[in-house]
Amino acid sequence: MNMPNLSAFLVGLIFGAGLLVSGMANPDKVLSFLDLAGAWDPSLALVMGGAIVVGSVAFAIAGKRERSLLAEPMRIPVRRDLDKPLVLGSLGFGVGWGLAGFCPGPALVALGAGEPGAVVFVISMLVGMALYELIEQSRTTANA
């Protein structure tokens, strides 16, 4: 395994551990956070807060670098325009998140934990992502 792949594996491991420690890997806890009108569990606001505090320092440093520590090119998004796919996609994502309590990362962790419901969710999510590829490919072919 080369260094970037080894690093990617370790980052995945740390990310997964963070989701487990924080409680985000548990859809029940996620839904308790999203349920403002019920008995509200504010914990997950602190997950995002903790992640952003650490992340902001890293991204401030990363923004000044031309290459990563492994001499890889820095692939940080540069787009700043707000478009329809961004907004409609995000609105749709929130509905799916609220229906099951799963977003992509926690679903992968719950899959690793052997939860049958997570298997169903992840397969459906992959089908949804493949659907996007098909729609976008047919659109580019139609325009070509």
Partner 1 sequence: MTIDWASFTPWSALAGGMLIGLAAALFVLVNGRIAGISGVVGGLLRPQPGDLSWRVAFVAGMIAAPLLWAAVATLPGIIIEASVPMLVVAGLLVGVSTRYAAGCTSGHGVCGISRLSPRSLVATVSFMATGFITVYIVRHVIGG
CB of 141 to partner 1, least distance (A): 15
Cα 142 to Cα 59: distance, rounded to the nearest angstrom? 39
| 98 part of the interface to partner 1, by CB under 8 A | yes
Cα 15 to Cα 12: distance, rounded to the nearest angstrom? 5
Tokens 């992340």, residue?
A: 55
Extract long-range pairs of 44-50: CB within 8 Å, 24+ residues apart. Answer: 47/22, 47/23, 50/22
Name which position in 85, 140, 141, 142 contacts partner 1 (CB under 8 A). Answer: 85
Task: Tell which residue, 136, 19, 4, has the closest CA to residue 73.
Answer: 4
| 4 part of the interface to partner 1, by CB under 8 A | yes
Residue 37 vs 144, nearer CB to partner 1: 37
- Positions in 42-81 near partner 1 (CB under 8 A): 42-59, 61-63, 65, 67-70, 72-77, 79-81
The two structure tokens encoding residue 17: 């551990």
Task: Tell which residue, 78, 49, 80, has the closest CA to residue 63.
Answer: 78
CB of 142 to partner 1, least distance (A): 18
CB of 4 to partner 1, least distance (A): 5
- Positions in 101-130 near partner 1 (CB under 8 A): 101-105, 107-115, 117-118, 120-130
| 140 part of the interface to partner 1, by CB under 8 A | no
| 142 part of the interface to partner 1, by CB under 8 A | no
